[in-house]
Structure 1
Amino acid sequence: MTSLTPLRRRAHAGLALALGVAAAAVTLGACSSHAGGAGGAAGASAEGPCLSSDVSLSDLPLAPDPKTHQGESTACLSDTGVIPVTTDAAPVLPATVTDNQGTVVTVADTSRILALDIYGSLAATVFGLGLGDSVVGRDSSTSFAGASDLPLVTQNGHELNAEAILELDPSVIVTDSSIGPWDVVLQMREAGIPVVVTTPERNLDNVGELVGMVASALGVPSAGAELTARVTAEIQDEVAAIAAVTPSDLADRPRILFLYVRGNAGVYYIFGEESGADALIRALGGIDVAGEIGWQGMRPMTAEALVKAQPDILLMMTKGLESVGGVDGLLERIPAVAETPAGANRRIVDMSDYEILSFGPRSAAVLDALARAIYAPDASGAAR
């Protein structure tokens, strides 16, 4: 498995830093608002119910012009659970893998699994492989149905708590370098727990790589191949469905920018090329304006860059938008937003922090929810 380029290492380190600072300031944790209630709209601040997924995107009343539509909206998943590829997974153990850091790790027991990262995608992958019943704890980003009631092993948002981990007596830990402190990870290894470190990179193109590593480490490679095939097909089908409603003329396609904010911490980032947000925007049929202005990775926002980008739509995390007091607060705190078409039209699309960049088994559902908010906002049931 190839290692990350220096650029990507810096990009993901920047995301971890930004989220870590924000978490400490606003206590991003496992709040009840994203635990998956009766409505199933985990993490969303929508005032209406999510649109049922049995209505295809092409059958919805589309916005006449996604570039000039006025009003904010929330993208939300109608079902926050993870469907496993098998209900009788039978790991073949011991399993030996060389992880993303070049460490040879042997896993002899998968009865008590911890899967921890800043995105919640590793736990979703374990559940997708059919090993959800063996997961004994969770990080603050793992909030999907079936996992939200597990004991929390992070504190102050995304900080690993060594005592909480050891109390759960895990037989194996799957993690990556997006979550820390790293000393805690090393402490787990010193305690004799097998720790498998995956790539921290998350995008639509490396889902199979991530699933493959987790599946191999847990002794279920065949389930990994099946899950990869399923997720890949789902993503391809969703991208095709989105393409069918995307304006054919590039000039008519929405110009989209991913803005990460944590108002209480004074954190304002633009996510550009190699951040994962760029692949998300392209899959949604939009034009990645951060890439147009040469924005690499995750970097602190400047008013000049925001105005230069001139986005039609801003993608944001729900709690980030809430941290600045909603759209009104965003326009007040960042006056440059008002100088963009997105700000003038209040065209902000937010989605749960724990879903929007959680590339993995739910990638197609995330794309579908965002596409509905972008191309059929008046039909989404989530317009505010």
Structure 2
Amino acid sequence: MRAAGAFAVAVLAAVLTGCAAGAPAAKPTSASPSASATATGDALPDPRTITGPSTAASIAQIEPVEKNPKPSLPVTVTDATGTSVTITDTSRILALDIYGTLAETVVGLGLGDKLVGRGSSNTLDVMKDLPLVTQNGHELNGEAILALRPTLVLTDTTLGPREVQDQLRASGVPVVFFDPKRSIATIGAQTKAVAHAVGLDAVGDKLVKRTDEELVTAKADIAKLAPKADADKLRVAFLYVRGTAGVFFLFGKGMGADDLISGVGAVDVASAAGITGAKPANSEALLATNPDVFLMMTDGLESTGGVDGLLKRPGVADTLAGQHRRIVDMSDGQILSFGPTTPAVLRSLADALYRPGAVG
């Protein structure tokens, strides 16, 4: 699993580009119990008979678990690179990773007003007007970062070039690296690590508790939508694409997508086929897995010409998903974030899978 996780991070860092919100907004469960993906009492169709594409609503906001928290500083941490970092000031924070997780967590802890910039993965409303400090997708812009005079940078190895983060450290800015692996199982530890770095351990515990409770509720509600029998469950493949050339992968075990798909009561066909990490989505691989649904990032789908462009790729139109045009997409900066928004992400995806177009 350690090797698979490292490979997953390497693949994501190499191929993920241009994350941006591209879907309508939905309130997360942390703001209030969402009507999304709850039992309505209405009979739902067999999800395998649903045809056509659908877009899962993106998450517009996170309700802070505590308003105006008071960080207990200074704090010294040993980060994921083994470096000892002392934090004395959280008044100007940058939280930058390829998934959007770190900034989401800062907002959930109640320090959203301390964020002074954003990366292209940060799609929450509270950050939409902040200066962008990444370029060409996920490349850190050192000059733009230094111009914001951050007092703390939270990051990981999914963004680069590493020289920029090293330059920030050399200039005296505290830079804290976190574990880059993401899954539902890592949410609690990641949240606590971020909370500790900003001097809010107790608030972090509260955020973990709330997220855990929301995950339990979300999964229980989703179970009312998803077929019970294994033979009836949707067979889903996470398809990663950028453009019309060679960036075209099936995400298998250890890429986070397996957790996402099982979380919405479906079967991850890539993991079931023994695929670990990312595998080129050639005709052979697509036909061998033959999913009912392709799950994709919104910008990735758009980059390949939308549904029609995707169906022109070798092997796609021959799958069940291709024949039924069953593609579900969601905002690039949220679908694999695995943070405080994950319960709402699961609900939104469940709606798109089991009752597309439903309201409430």
Name the SS of the counterpart of 2:284 in structure 1.
helix
Q: Does 1:18 align with 2:3?
A: no
Aligned to 2:352: 373
Aligned to 1:76: 57
Residue 62 of structure 1 deviates from its aligned partner by 5.4
Contact 1:62 1:376 in 2 (8 A): no
What are the Cα deviations for residues 191-234 of structure 1, in whole angstroms up to 9, with x where unaligned?
11111111111111111111111000100001100001001111
Residue 40 of structure 1 deviates from its aligned partner by 3.0
- Equivalent residues in 2 for 1:134-173 (5 A)? 134-173=114-153
- Equivalent residues in 2 for 1:90-169 (5 A)? 90-169=70-149
Name the SS of the counterpart of 2:221 in structure 1.
helix
Aligned to 2:40: 59
Whichever residue aligns with residue 365 of structure 1, its letter is A
Alpha-carbon distance in structure 1 between the residues aligned to 2:170 and 2:54: 47
| TM-score normalised per structure 2 | 0.94
Match of 1:9 among 6, 13, 24: 6
Q: Does 1:233 align with 2:213?
A: yes
Contact 2:36 2:359 in 1 (8 A): no
Residue 53 of structure 1 deviates from its aligned partner by 3.7
Aligned to 2:187: 207
Contact 1:372 1:380 in 2 (8 A): no
Whichever residue aligns with residue 168 of structure 2, its letter is M
Whichever residue aligns with residue 51 of structure 2, its letter is Q
Residue 378 of structure 1 deviates from its aligned partner by 4.2
Alpha-carbon distance in structure 2 between the residues aligned to 1:246 and 1:148: 34
Alpha-carbon distance in structure 2 between the residues aligned to 1:158 and 1:276: 19
Match of 2:158 among 172, 178, 189: 178
Contact 1:105 1:196 in 2 (8 A): yes
- Equivalent residues in 2 for 1:340-351 (5 A)? 340-351=319-330
C-alpha change, 1:219 and 1:265, in structure 2 (3 Å) is farther
Alpha-carbon distance in structure 2 between the residues aligned to 1:63 and 1:324: 32
Name the SS of the counterpart of 2:159 in structure 1.
coil
Alpha-carbon distance in structure 1 between the residues aligned to 2:99 and 2:126: 17
Unaligned runs of 5+ in 1: 43-51
Whichever residue aligns with residue 128 of structure 1, its letter is G
Alpha-carbon distance in structure 2 between the residues aligned to 1:177 and 1:260: 20
Q: Is 304-313 or 260-269 further displaced after alignment?
A: 260-269
Contact 1:373 1:380 in 2 (8 A): no
What are the Cα deviations for residues 63-116 of structure 1, in whole angstroms up to 9, with x where unaligned?
421123111111013x51111011121000111111122221111111111100
Unaligned runs of 5+ in 2: 28-32
Q: Does 1:87 align with 2:67?
A: yes
Alpha-carbon distance in structure 1 between the residues aligned to 2:125 and 2:245: 29
Alpha-carbon distance in structure 2 between the residues aligned to 1:56 and 1:70: 19
Alpha-carbon distance in structure 2 between the residues aligned to 1:265 and 1:339: 19
Match of 1:327 among 291, 303, 307: 307
Percent same amino acid among aligned pairs?
50
Alpha-carbon distance in structure 2 between the residues aligned to 1:60 and 1:286: 21
Aligned to 1:49: none
Alpha-carbon distance in structure 2 between the residues aligned to 1:342 and 1:268: 16
